[in-house]
Structure 1
Amino acid sequence: MSEPVLELEGIEKVYLRGTDREVRVLDGASCRLGAGEIVGLVAPSGAGKSTLLHVAGLLDVADAGAVRIGGEDFAALPDRRRTIARRRDVGFVYQFHHLLPEFSALENVMLPQLANGATRAEARARAAALLDRVGLTARAAHRPAALSGGEQQRVAFCRALANAPRLLLADEPTGNLDPETSETVFAALVDLVRETGLTALIATHNLALAQRMSRVLRLEAGRLVAQEPG
């Protein structure tokens, strides 16, 4: 494997249920993702996929372990440093698109760039280029309510990639779509990731989609193990 873009080492995460019961969601989870890899993450509902992605993407803090992005350990850094790193290095896609309804598709993709210091002209040009890559040039001026579910999710993909992150994390990105639309949207995501050379970790319950990625990891009893093909 090439030098890892994402490295999780010995990640532990425990939640309290009630006043005294501990639930150990992550128990020494470790993995390494190289540049350009698209890795599937599978597990039953409630097994901790979202928790793992939130820790990997610096949205949550592990109780123990290292989170390295580009070789730098962000696990114990102050919130401000983690926020800067998250804006610079990580893109997120969720099951629900979370687009801002009052803005057009183009504007939704521009916003993260503007927040990161880009000029309006720079943000507009990159947003237009990303939307064109997923076949949405003709829909760029439409607000989310005028877009189909699949179109909304493709806009969300573009928004996640707007700041040219090194790492894309996706949590069931096609889970809210019908099977046919899911296929189309997943293909658009994979093509976009491959064209931009990103590293991606994509959680999905769809094993057929997962098997089309570079490799698949299974979250089992709080640890990550290789999913055997087939």
Structure 2
Amino acid sequence: MSNPTLQLTGITKAYNHGKPNEVNVLQGVDLTVEKGEIVALVAPSGAGKSTLLHIAGLLDTPDSGTVTINGDDMTGKSDSRRTAMRRDGVGFIYQFHHLLPEFTALENIVLPQLANGIAQKEAEARALELLGNVGVAERADHRPAALSGGEQQRVAFCRALANRPTLLLADEPTGNLDPGTSDRVFGALMDLVRGTGLAAVIATHNLELAARMDRTVHLTAGKLTHGE
């Protein structure tokens, strides 16, 4: 019997409840992601993919349904329990990197580890290892403003994986890059995820990138359909 990293069951979410402009964003979404599996989430703009990722990562709560991470049903859990799960179990990557501008690439990856109780030397070693894995170790001492867009996003990947999460959620992680850079950076992300063996859900509009993942799910009109 499998023990999936992420299991969403019957997820619903609506905005403007009871009003004429009520929008049913998610309507009974089910999704299971196993350890080591990379799933592409493809959806048109405004279809609710960001909402779905936020619910999966415990940044938002569904109106109904359950979110189970690493076998732990998070339904109704306290804010402190949800925060602990986000901190220890979930990594997020967004389209825009959101690196702290006053800190170097290395420091941006070290800081979340220090907040999680990791010793400075261990945190720096982990950061350098991750930067090396995505080919930007020589840029470790540079601040974000001195890095290219592709370099900044690779640093953001490393930051998301710094605390060794079991689940990675990425929302259009290469959407603001040109096609050539996007392809290279996405390749670095895939190598990083494959080498770590964590479960990942990666939202993308790019069907060529989606085809490089293990399978694709489509979110349309609030419902999820499963492809290969």
2:221 corresponding residue in structure 1: 221
Is residue 99 of structure 1 aligned with residue 129 of structure 2? no
What number of residue pairs does the alignment pair up? 228
Contact 1:2 1:35 (8 Å CA) reproduced: no
**Alpha-carbon separation, structure 2, partners of 1:17 and 1:99:** 35
What is the CA distance between 1:20 and its match in structure 2? 4.3
**Alpha-carbon separation, structure 2, partners of 1:145 and 1:192:** 24
* Worse overlay, 218-227 or 137-146: 218-227
1:68 corresponding residue in structure 2: 68
Runs of 4+ with >3 A deviation: 17-20
2:7 corresponding residue in structure 1: 7
Contact 1:38 1:215 (8 Å CA) reproduced: yes
2:33 corresponding residue in structure 1: 33
Structure 1 length-normalised TM: 0.96
Unmatched 5+ stretches in structure 1:
none
**Alpha-carbon separation, structure 2, partners of 1:75 and 1:48:** 20
Listed one character per residue, the Cα deviations across residues 140-182 of structure 1 (whole Å, up to 9, x for unaligned) are 0000000000000000000000000000000000000000000
Listed one character per residue, the Cα deviations across residues 25-77 of structure 1 (whole Å, up to 9, x for unaligned) are 00100010011000000010000000000000000011110000011111321
Contact 1:62 1:75 (8 Å CA) reproduced: no
What is the CA distance between 1:17 and its match in structure 2? 7.7
2:164 corresponding residue in structure 1: 164
Q: Which amino acid aligns with 1:73?
A: D
Contact 1:58 1:75 (8 Å CA) reproduced: no
Question: How do 1:70-89 residues align onto structure 2 when only pairs under 5 Å count?
Answer: 70-89=70-89
3-state SS of 2:5 partner: strand
**Alpha-carbon separation, structure 1, partners of 2:156 and 2:64:** 31
Q: Which amino acid aligns with 2:220?
A: E
1:52 corresponding residue in structure 2: 52
**Alpha-carbon separation, structure 2, partners of 1:221 and 1:68:** 24
3-state SS of 1:21 partner: coil
Q: Which amino acid aligns with 2:111?
A: L
1:118 corresponding residue in structure 2: 118
Listed one character per residue, the Cα deviations across residues 101-147 of structure 1 (whole Å, up to 9, x for unaligned) are 00000000001101111111111111111111111110000000000
Q: Which amino acid aligns with 2:88?
A: R
**Alpha-carbon separation, structure 2, partners of 1:50 and 1:13:** 12
* Worse overlay, 11-20 or 68-77: 11-20
**Alpha-carbon separation, structure 1, partners of 2:149 and 2:39:** 24
**Alpha-carbon separation, structure 2, partners of 1:49 and 1:186:** 19
3-state SS of 1:164 partner: coil
Is residue 134 of structure 1 aligned with residue 129 of structure 2? no
Unmatched 5+ stretches in structure 2:
none
Contact 1:7 1:33 (8 Å CA) reproduced: yes
1:199 corresponding residue in structure 2: 199
* Worse overlay, 93-102 or 69-78: 69-78
2:212 corresponding residue in structure 1: 212
3-state SS of 1:40 partner: strand
RMSD of aligned Cα (Å): 1.3
Question: How do 1:147-186 residues align onto structure 2 when only pairs under 5 Å count?
Answer: 147-186=147-186
Identity score, percent: 66
Structure 2 length-normalised TM: 0.97
